[in-house]
A = this chain, B = another copy of it.
Amino acid sequence: MPDDKKVIVALDMMDPVVARDMAKRLSGEVFAFKVGWPLILGSNADIVVDLSRYSKVICDLKLADIPDTNSWVTQKMRENGAWGIIAHAFVGGDSLEAVVKAAGNVKTIAVVAMSHPGSSLFINKKAKELVRVAAGAGAYGIIAPGNDIKMLKKVKKIAVGLKILSPGIGTQGGSASDAIASGADYVIVGRSVCNADDPKNEVKRINAAINTVLAQRNGPAT
């Protein structure tokens, strides 16, 4: 049976105790967890080892350095059991290739568009070229905003062979169903799950909504 879980929960807290507790509660219901520098700094890189007991862990590092430095950081996260690493494509193919190479079996996911106002100045104008950089570097997937359907559809058209992971769902305005219907393979949800009265139920609700969209797309089972 294919993995029908399409929700990645962003653990956007700094306290490792809170993060571990949330991961434990959501274990078995999510596709993966996403952790960033604030949580890693709130503890250390071992948090990735800990959280990997509950699901796959994607390290959202937004790496944007020279190839050597990108490589060293990726290597460390690989050693700690990360399933995926998020890096910027904006710094060029060589920096992204350094991540792919150091990552080995760990998935490299490249940022090609963002959703905050400042991203319209440079990054989002280059989204299509950034998808090509990601594909050229051998990335597994790309990050494209789930609350900007026009952008999502634009990158989907050319993101052949690349998985699309979409943040900006829930509190940030995007709808999981719309994002999936527009080409996202996975949705990344933070606050609207972690701040829910029943986070596990909220993930189930989002997954159910997504599976309705997928069932409509795929037609009736035969």
Residues of A within 8 A of B (CB): 12, 14, 36-38, 40-45, 61-67, 69, 72-73, 76, 88, 90-96, 114-123, 126, 129, 133
Contacts and interface: CB of A to CB of B under 8 A. Distances in A.
A92 B64 contact: no
A122 B92 contact: yes
Contact of A73 (B38, B67, B129): B38
Copies of this chain per assembly: 2
Given A41-B45, A76-B41, A92 B116 contact: yes
Contact of A92 (B38, B44, B117): B117
Contacts of A64: 62, 64, 88, 90
What are the 4 tightest A-B residue pairs by CB atom distance, in nearest-first order?
A92-B118, A94-B118, A38-B72, A64-B64
A14 B76 CA distance: 10
Contacts of A66: 114-116
A116 B66 CA distance: 6
A167 B122 CA distance: 24
Contact of A126 (B62, B122, B129): B122
